[in-house]
Amino acid sequence: MIPFYKLERYEGNEALFELVMMSIVASLVGEPLHIHAEGLRGTGKTTIMRAAKGILPNITRIKGCVYNCDPAAPHCPHHRNMSPNEISNLGTEEIPMPFLEISHSAKVGTVAGSVDLARLTDISHPEAQLLPGLIPQAHRGIIFIDEINRLADTSPEITDILLDVMGNKPGHIQIEEAGLPVVDVTVSVSVWAASNPDEDPGPVEEIRRQLSDRFDMVCYMGRPNSVDILSQMLKENSHQWKAQAKEREAAVEEGKNEVFRSNIVKWAGQYEKADLPDFLRNYIARLYIKHNLESIRAIEAMQSGAILHSIIKGRDKVAINDVTHMIPLVLKHRVDSDTMVRMINDVDSKGVKDGILSFKNRKKNDKEADPDYFPHNATPLKDIRRSDLVNTEKSLTPNEG
């Protein structure tokens, strides 16, 4: 597999690289960010998502806890009722942020949990206990689902579980097994999904609209359209290159991944302290009202997305561009294309007076809310009378005409 840093970046896939990093940063501070990459075969969506496994930072958990209990906030059935003293006696360990994958043929027991057969059949000490499934084991990390549209179509039970997991931040999951008490645990998991909406059974929003809305952001992958990029991709996929690359790059790769990891840790620290300026929050609220958006999730995603985007781009302040950059990602799966085009035009071209960016209701003393992007002291050309223009020309060149 080609390492994350080496994957070709081009216009059509850039957004996914950003979303992947934004989601890891958010997951590290305990706030899941669910992302979905849609696109045709060969656009590299699953490759990018799987390669991100190489750049995941470490998390600290209670030693040996399969539920990944945070020593400061234990949540699992074994540790949640222990005293801080008992917890610290158990010790801690560092593990890579979990990244687990659910296939579209997975069973409920694998995903949620089931009875621990090894313990049940232990000859010396048989005991009925629950074995947490993939989702509770991915707590504080990532769950990846390729072909989520097929999963939504064929596994309504797993879809229901995902709706619970993604319903709130953090979400929750119930592990049920006949004869054992139901266990309900909190799970803070970012769900990453990929699908090809042009293949059977079609786009997720047409199969389970609710599930589609649970994704904070959706990006539609474009194909590479430059000869240079395509030939580089071909080269890296050739057998010979792959064989040589193994030795050549093992050390380099680890070093480059380490750069991503330490950036992610740094960004997470910034994200915990960052906030959106009030005028941008008002702007998002106005988008919601003016365009009659139905989903509060959408504008929440726009807010956290704008902050995360400004951070991974190395800026110390969130700008209007960070918000507008989020519009297609947050709304593609939530509004019809006409509404989205209207919104983007609203921002891009309509000018200050009638556009949604109008700041006329703002208080004058709000310094941050008074950007100097739009100076009003010049007279626009279209407002000058034709005779004024002619006169000016005449007065400047009195000897002509």
- Could you list the residues that contact Zn ion (CB under 5 A)? 65, 67, 69, 76, 79
CB closer to Zn ion, 82 vs 320? 82
CB closer to Zn ion, 64 vs 167? 64
CB of 365 to Zn ion, least distance (A): 51
Among all residues, whose Cβ is closest to Zn ion? 69
Q: Which residues contact 399 (CB under 8 A, 6 or more apart)?
A: none
CB closer to Zn ion, 65 vs 307? 65
CB of 74 to Zn ion, least distance (A): 5
CB atoms within 10 A of CB 247: 8
CB of 182 to Zn ion, least distance (A): 18
CB of 47 to Zn ion, least distance (A): 33
What string of H, E and C letters represents the secondary structure of 291-309?
A: CCCCCHHHHHHHHHHHHHH
Per the document, the length of the chain is: 401
CB of 178 to Zn ion, least distance (A): 24
Q: How far apart are CA 260 and CA 21, in angstroms?
A: 9
What's the longest Cα–Cα distance across the chain?
113
Nearest Cα residue to 302 out of 289, 315, 284, 320: 284
CB closer to Zn ion, 77 vs 277? 77
- Tokens describing residue 175: 């592990």
CB of 162 to Zn ion, least distance (A): 23
CB closer to Zn ion, 77 vs 203? 77
3-state helix, strand, coil in the chain (%, to 5): 50, 15, 35
CB closer to Zn ion, 127 vs 348? 127
The number of helices, as runs of H, and strands, as runs of E, in the chain is 18, 11
Q: How far apart are CA 46 and CA 141, in angstroms?
A: 17
Nearest Cα residue to 222 out of 38, 52, 51: 38
CB of 93 to Zn ion, least distance (A): 12
b/e 31-56 (16+ beta carbons within 10 angstroms → b): bbbbbbbbbeeebbbbbbbbbbbbbb
CB closer to Zn ion, 79 vs 214? 79
